[in-house]
Amino acid sequence: MPRISIRQHFRKLRSKSRNRGLICRRGVEAVEAALTLPLLLALVFPMLHLTHNWHTEKMLKIAAFEAVKVLGHRDGTLERAQSTFAEYATAFGIEGAELELDPSFLSGSIPTDSAFWVRGVAPQLQNRLPLPLNISLGSQLRSGQVFYRKEG
């Protein structure tokens, strides 16, 4: 069997491909991938964003829960509750979080056994994943309301 160089070997292969008419396949995979990949990413990235947002909302709710325990206590004050909330939110890595209060707080202290709620709120921009295709519609991440009654 005659010995051929590597260069000759590849030249021979290219020649075979040309003969089979497959030369026009070059780049087809890239085009197909370019067409379908956005579909794939449109599925994956929003899922990542959604689960991340849910996780952040969950952690905001836990921080609000800790704040409510302080605020609901007989001697609980708003300042101590806000400080507790900030402490937990920081520990959870949430930036710019704030405690949103039941409007009844504006009228002063909460009487014993009265119901009230709080919730954690954080700007989405500061807490989003560094990925494209964020489908979230709002500018704020908000936990669910945490309801309680003032202890006596």
Closest CB to other proteins among 4 and 147? Answer: 147
What whole-number distance in Å separates Cα of residue 86 and Cα of residue 79?
11
Q: Nearest distance from residue 150's CB to other proteins, in Å?
A: 9
What whole-number distance in Å separates Cα of residue 91 and Cα of residue 134?
25
What whole-number distance in Å separates Cα of residue 144 and Cα of residue 61?
6
Q: Nearest distance from residue 100's CB to other proteins, in Å?
A: 10
CB 94 within 8 A of CB 127: yes
What whole-number distance in Å separates Cα of residue 115 and Cα of residue 45?
40
Which stretches of the chain bind other proteins, using CB under 8 A? 20-22, 24-25, 28-29, 32-33, 35-37, 39-40, 43-44, 47, 50-51, 54-55, 57-58, 60-62, 65, 68-69, 72, 113, 115, 117, 119-120, 136-138, 140-149, 151-152
Q: Nearest distance from residue 115's CB to other proteins, in Å?
A: 8
